[in-house]
Amino acid sequence: MTTSTAQPTEVAYLSDDEARAKIAEALAKLNLAGKRVLLIVPDSTRTAPVGLLFKSIHAEIGASVAKLDVMIALGTHPPMSDEAILRRLEITAEERAGKYGKVAMLNHDWKNGSALTRLGTISAADIAELSGGLFSMDVNVDVNSAIFNYDQLIIVGPVFPHEVVGFSGGNKYLFPGISGAEILNFFHWLGAIITSPRIIGHKWTPVRKVVDRAASLVPVPRFAFCMVVHQHKLAGLYTGTPEEAWTDAADHSARVHVLVKPHPYKTVLSAAPLMYDEIWVGAKCMYKLEPVVEDGGELIIYAPHIAHVSVVHGALIERIGYHTRDYFVKQWDRFKDEPWGVLAHSTHVRGVGTYENGVEKPRIRVTLATAIPEDVCRSINMGYRDPASINVADYQNREDEGVLYVPEAGEMLYRLTNPPAWASE
């Protein structure tokens, strides 16, 4: 795996006109006249000017293609309402009924087996090679059947450091974006076995190799617009095959989305933005900051607006709780039949730790300062604080004292200048 520890340099941004020119140039090379085109875009849990891309692409090819539709790459996230999709695409209801009236707007449905098609199977031998010998098992690859109604897939999405795959984006919008559960569960657990700190912000991970191998089975031509977004502005736009566009965008992301700190912190207040509406996604406020919390320290996810663990997976998480990787691995017969993607989420949120002689010892404390009740937090093995008891000002400007406050956490990755063994390759 490869990584970067460079501090972000001064960031330059693309104007809307510069972005439109890049879009027009890329689309002209695809010769899409008369073809059916499907845009695959993220849901609202990813910061990106998706509306600019959607409207620019529509302006360039909307009149010449036979069809131009949009699918939300939900993975296992809840479906988006019509109103939420309009906000994601940055268009009004009037524009939806008028200019964009012919555009079908689809939610991926990962649980609906009748809506999926099996592309093939990644063999046990290939999985052993891709995973560096961590696993040897056949993995079936399913994808949303709707893609076969189109002649061209165009992925539109941002690239950030990511806890499961290393850097998000590219073919990840296909797998797990519009995939079935089996491939999703497999590579999430593969990432969890390696652990989030040893995956996040690393470019060529075993998980990325599995994602790209799955994407190679897709028979419909693929193209990508990979965005690098910094402080809600477009810092980079890369085009080409998903592999080509992603590799350039990941290099750019490593330069602007990684902050390197000289020492760890005993307390981190990680404030979740409103776009994270449940712990399932708000936990990114943990993933991106775990590497800079000292042993025995506390990371507080501060999100007074979050009232749910997970709309889709909440009942299961409340049953198994949040635990370290070894808690599951050393009791595998007990947990092996649970959805591996949920087990992976659990380990990512609880962080690095050990499980010996029936005793679990997480490296750090993780506390929820949310609208989730205290009894629920305790029952899922999380700490609790009343968010009303937190005065953000008490955590600001205290880095020299070992206290770090991070507003709008979840997209910038924090690392130490000299990472400890548990966070290094």
- As a whole number, mean pLDDT of residues 27-32 equals 97
Question: Residue 1: is its pLDDT beyond 60?
Answer: no
Return the exposure string of 347-359: e unless at least 16 CB atoms fall within 10 Å of the residue's CB, then b: bbbbbbbebeeee
Residue 110's pLDDT band (cuts 50, 70, 90): confident
Q: What whole-number percentage of the chain has pLDDT above 70? A: 98
**CA nearest 381: which of 411, 353, 420, 404?**
353
Average pLDDT over residues 396-421: 96
Of 102, 117, 107, 108, the residue nearest 37 (C-alpha): 102
Please determine, for residue 424, whether its predicted confidence score (pLDDT) is greater than 90. Answer: no
The whole-number average pLDDT for the span 74-78 is 86
| β-strands 359-362, 353-356 pairing | antiparallel
Residue 3 predicted with pLDDT over 80:
no
Percent share of the chain, pLDDT over 90: 92
| Average pLDDT, rounded, for the chain | 95
Domains of the chain: 16-256 (3.40.50.11440), 259-423 (3.90.226.30)
Q: Is the pLDDT of residue 253 over 90?
A: yes
Per-residue pLDDT averaged across 402-422, rounded? 96
The answer on pLDDT for 331 being more than 80 is: yes
**What integer pLDDT is reported at residue 46 of this predicted model?**
87
Q: Write down the residue that tokens 């897709």 correspond to.
A: 218
pLDDT in tens, 143-199: 999 999 999 999 999 999 999 999 999 999 999 999 999 999 999 999 999 999 999
Check whether 5 has a pLDDT greater than 80.
Answer: no
Rounded distance between C-alpha atoms, residue 192 and residue 189, angstroms: 5
Supply angle C-alpha 251, 255, 257, rounded to 5.
Answer: 105
**Residue 171: per-residue pLDDT:** 98
Structural contact between residues 238 and 245, judged by C-beta atoms closer than 8 angstroms: yes
- Residue positions counted in the chain: 425
Both tokens of 179, joined, read 């995939």
Element (H, E) at 227: strand 222-230
Nearest C-alpha neighbor of 116 from the set 169, 168, 182: 182
What pLDDT score was predicted for residue 44?
A: 87
Mean pLDDT across 116-139: 98
Q: What average pLDDT does the segment 297-301 reach?
A: 98
- CA–CA gap between residue 393 and residue 131 (Å, rounded): 45
CA 275/CA 321 separation, integer angstroms: 24
Looking at residue 9, its pLDDT comes to 59
Q: What is the pLDDT of residue 425?
A: 64
The pLDDT of residue 6 is: 42
CA dihedral 351, 202, 152, 213 (to 10 degrees): -90
